[in-house]
């Protein structure tokens, strides 16, 4: 089945220790998104790729970076995680033909100790 | 940033009843409207989308859109315990979605 896959599902990192979260998709969608969601809050868009074009949200901290080496894969790098970065990180994809319909991966739960 | 407002709930309904969820949005240029269901600890799942004024039905779900009032709603008929979840309203005018914080629904058996 076509899907969005995120690894790992659970990640524990230490304060200040860089961490990378990964997302892959078999939907062949050209748009990929990263969201941060904290408990009882709306998902917050960090950035998205339209094909290879990177689009950063104005309020996304510099501590968050992303890479998209090919259509199928996208990575979220947190350079120096703080306690406030503990959250669920959601990857989503959409097709430019139906760009408003986004499909989410299962998420990665990040804990910072 | 588009603002999307939802009643946080919790909304408690008996099994078999209709659950009614409401959402308002601030950007009149918004074109597409979505309802996502999110179970606790899981990721959002797209359950309905609507682009035009009026009603759209899919099984037990009906989405209603009124662009003049900047209002979108979701009705869940014959509510089941498996419908217990948080329902996120999302609004789009481009490639980005703006989400509400969600309404938590609990269906009592």
CB contact under 8 A, B94 and A45: no
Closest Cβ opposite residue B96 in set A41, A45, A96: A45
Mean model confidence pLDDT for chain A = 93
| pLDDT per position as a tens digit, B23-47 | 999 999 888 999 999 999 999 999 9
- Cα A108 to its chain centre, rounded Å, is 9
Distance between CA atoms of B17 and B61, rounded to whole angstroms? 13
What pLDDT band is residue A44 in, cutting at 50, 70 and 90? very high
Which pLDDT does position B61 carry in this prediction?
Answer: 97
| pLDDT per position as a tens digit, A53-73 | 999 999 999 999 999 999 999
Chain A residues with at least one Cβ partner in B under 8 Å:
31, 33, 40-43, 45, 48, 50, 88, 90, 94, 96, 99-107, 109
C-alpha angle B103-B106-B109 in degrees, rounded to nearest 5: 160
User: Between A and B, how many residue pairs show a Cβ–Cβ distance under 8 A?
Assistant: 50
| pLDDT per position as a tens digit, B41-84 | 999 999 999 999 999 999 999 999 999 999 999 999 999 999 99
Which pLDDT does position A1 carry in this prediction?
Answer: 66
Share of chain B above pLDDT 70, in %: 98
Q: What string of DSSP letters covers B34-95?
A: EEEEE-TTS--EEEEEE-SSEEEEETTEEEEEETTTTEEEEEESS--GGG-EEEEEEEESSS
Closest Cβ opposite residue A42 in set B41, B45, B102: B102
């Amino acid at each position: 089945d076509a899907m969005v896959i995120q690894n790992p599902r659970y990640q524990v990192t230490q304060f200040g220790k860089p961490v990378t979260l990964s997302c892959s998709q078999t939907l062949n969608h050209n748009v990929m998104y990263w969201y941060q969601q904290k408990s009882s809050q709306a998902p917050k868009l960090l950035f998205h790729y339209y094909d290879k074009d990177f689009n950063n949200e104005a309020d996304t901290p510099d501590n968050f970076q992303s890479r998209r080496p090919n259509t199928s894969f996208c990575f979220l790098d947190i350079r120096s995680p703080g306690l406030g970065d503990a959250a669920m990180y959601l990857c989503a994809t959409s097709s430019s033909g139906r760009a408003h319909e986004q499909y989410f991966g299962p998420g990665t739960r990040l804990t910072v100790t | 940033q588009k603002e999307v407002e939802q009643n946080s709930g919790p909304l408690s309904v008996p099994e078999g009843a209709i659950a009614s969820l409401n959402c308002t949005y601030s950007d009149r240029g918004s074109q597409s409207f979505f309802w996502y269901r999110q179970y606790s600890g899981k990721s959002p799942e797209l359950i309905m989308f609507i682009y035009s004024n009026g009603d759209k039905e899919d099984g037990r779900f009906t989405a209603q859109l009124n662009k003049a009032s900047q209002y979108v709603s979701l009705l869940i008929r014959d509510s089941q315990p498996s419908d217990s979840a948080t329902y996120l309203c999302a609004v789009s005018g481009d490639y980005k979605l703006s989400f509400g914080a969600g309404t938590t629904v609990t269906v009592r058996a």
